[in-house]
Chains A and B, each alone.
Chain A
């Protein structure tokens, strides 16, 4: 438990992703089974102990300390587990901490009837950091910035295995993940995943940049502006996974209900509308899809107003046959065979763009801007389906970004390595004619797109042109113009400007341009395609 407590503490105070990975990987490598498995579960999914809830902690403490003092302390500290760990009376004897497994074992045997006696026994064996770790583990609310993805990456790093393999074998395993550790740490057989609706790591693409490819070797497809999903049906169950492997089946039940063939399919989740592809039965803009994202439950009205469907790109597994090692062309043929057997309301196929050569494709792509789709995918016809980004197999060729000239209004300090730099910029457009007294309206925020040298220059600029300070934020004298690049712009009720940009980034610093020559808000509004 001391090592787990030390790990938790170190993770709390560490901001850099690489340093977190190293801390986690070192812990996973050095800690024996099954402690490391339980720790991993506590850091990711959270373990559930029905007898120990946040209210249990409060009750336990208010038996020992005045309830007013508890409340004042809890309000100040902001976290029940931490407050309790600090308030708990120090044991008279030197602590004899339990192992993580012992603690998990004891916690899982606790009942509502005996928790008020048994939990104190554990707490009395720990120091303040240990008590914090125990209570965090018991109540499952870690909130220390460890995503499942980060934990898997650390696991892969600890045992020098591929993170894609970890992704694949992880699902369906339960804490303390004995088979997973046996495979990664001791070279045992990989855990089996048949008959489980598991997530398979996505194949990803590199940007095409300025190169060209020969269409004899590569097929071209539209890149739709939705969210990439994987739909899996196995063992009688269907799951919809997001790109990060999160299960979003509950958010899109109509998709989960619609697949009844054992398969693993890759596609773009979209909402019906007329914007993409420009025809009836096409897809709506990303803004419409956004209405559906992030909901744990979805109302009937939502389902009717924003009906979701998946435009399929690829088939990984169909009826037990793993197609991933086959060339793209074979998988494509299998997908074309499969699609007619699927519910046409929920699934269609992303068409191959009929272009004879690259120049013709470029012309088609150029027109695609009007159809508000994200760009073009180029897939090597003989490429297997492999996890992650492999050079030379798939390329994304996004349409050129939109550009607008904005004025820097506010700058905020970054975090981590950038914590001493003003690196987050809020910029605005003119709300009318600046020469007749129009004001700037903030339209977006960007914190990348510039080089380290430019960042230093910008930091100095902000410090030299500050007119006001609000905590970590400085208001500047609005004298600097940015050329801002972005993928699209949508109307938004949440922003004062009425617009929201997607992926804004600083394209160029236009120190040469006087601020009154920056764009007006109308120019941005004219680009809206909702």
Chain B
């Protein structure tokens, strides 16, 4: 008898679905790629065929001009791949278009979560618990010190700082795909109606979100602003621009960063952040462990992040687990 789950093989550059000869989120060009979401470390250009949700494909078209060979698979559609493998894209709650991929073959079910979170996000449908034999999960925030506070609290901190400093602006470093739009949507939900100013690198993705029906309110580019316009405003920029030349044009900015890493003081200090906002698009420790409990798989495989602590938790809870040691997934800017 074939070894259980031998039809799926983790390799350092991606997860190989052997009978279908497909790769999940491969780090190098392949003939057939199954992509969970549009972040650069998961979605790359140059594949023969790219299977992903319509929104993810729109993001990939924008970022990598991926058009040829794109196969759109709406959430919930069960498609047949070669070699008797079926695949279904299921919402992961991470960013617009993000999905877990359910693979079925020979009576076995494997779910690859990609990146995910369990908390509500106005910009994408919520994570769905999908029963399976093997759960292949991320563990970006796989340490018990990571417990993300409610997003309302963090947005409240931002608005308080804004109100207390009418002559300054709050410059928030946020990942250009997902974090930025979620933060804007959460600010709108909290009643903030003012213009939000964007670094140029943020614009196209925000427009794309709007095309997909997510209302982000009045957005304008910092390059079009007079210095007076920016006082008392929220300005969004990619984290790399926070302490660089670009930010010199801003009126005495309060440097903030929206990231799960902001939970740890030293990480915030390294980024020279004055106002850390603990807002993450990844599951925190409680969400990660609760997901294993909810899905209740026979085995848990951990793709990337702080695997050691997750392995230890599985061991303490008598759950079979292994670390896959995949390379190339970055988590620095979440």
Contact = CB atoms under 8 A, between A and B. Distances in A.
A420 B247 contact: yes
A455 to B, nearest CB: 12
A262 interface: no
Interface in B237-282: 243-245, 247-248, 263-266, 268-269, 272-276
Contacts of B144: 65, 69, 73, 86-87
Given A66-B316, A72-B306, A79 B143 contact: no
A77 B243 contact: no
B257 to A, nearest CB: 11
A82 interface: yes
A479 to B, nearest CB: 21
Interface residue tally on A, bucketed by range: 20 to 34
B63 interface: no
Contacts of A451: none
B245 A77 contact: no
A79 B269 CA distance: 14
B11 interface: no
A486 B277 CA distance: 44
Contact of B272 (A69, A83, A415): A415
A215 to B, nearest CB: 49
Nearest to A66: B316
Contacts, number: 61
Contacts of B199: none
B143 A76 contact: yes
A187 interface: no
A419 interface: yes
Given A72-B312, A73-B145, A420-B243, A82 B274 contact: no
Contacts of B274: 13-15
B313 interface: yes
A12 interface: yes
Query: Main SS of the interface on chain A?
Result: helix
Interface in B303-332: 306, 308-309, 312-313, 316
A419 B243 contact: yes
A524 to B, nearest CB: 34
B220 interface: no
Contact of A13 (B243, B247, B263, B269): B269
A12 B269 contact: yes
A413 B263 CA distance: 25
Interface residues of B, number: 26
A69 B313 contact: yes
Given A77-B266, A420-B243, A83 B276 contact: no
A32 interface: no
A72 B305 CA distance: 13
A73 B308 CA distance: 11
A78 B266 contact: yes
B147 interface: yes
Nearest to A419: B243
B268 A13 contact: yes
A7 B65 CA distance: 49
Contacts of A12: 265, 269
Nearest to A460: B245
A65 B275 CA distance: 30
A420 B312 contact: no
B125 to A, nearest CB: 29
A72 B316 CA distance: 15
Contacts of B306: 72, 76
Given A13-B268, A419-B272, A69 B247 contact: no
Given A69-B313, A77-B266, 5 more contacts: A68-B309, A77-B145, A82-B264, A86-B264, A419-B243
23 contacts: A12-B269, A13-B268, A14-B274, A15-B272, A68-B312, A69-B144, A69-B312, A72-B143, A73-B144, A73-B145, A77-B145, A77-B264, A78-B266, A79-B266, A82-B264, A83-B145, A86-B147, A87-B144, A420-B243, A420-B244, A420-B245, A420-B247, A420-B248
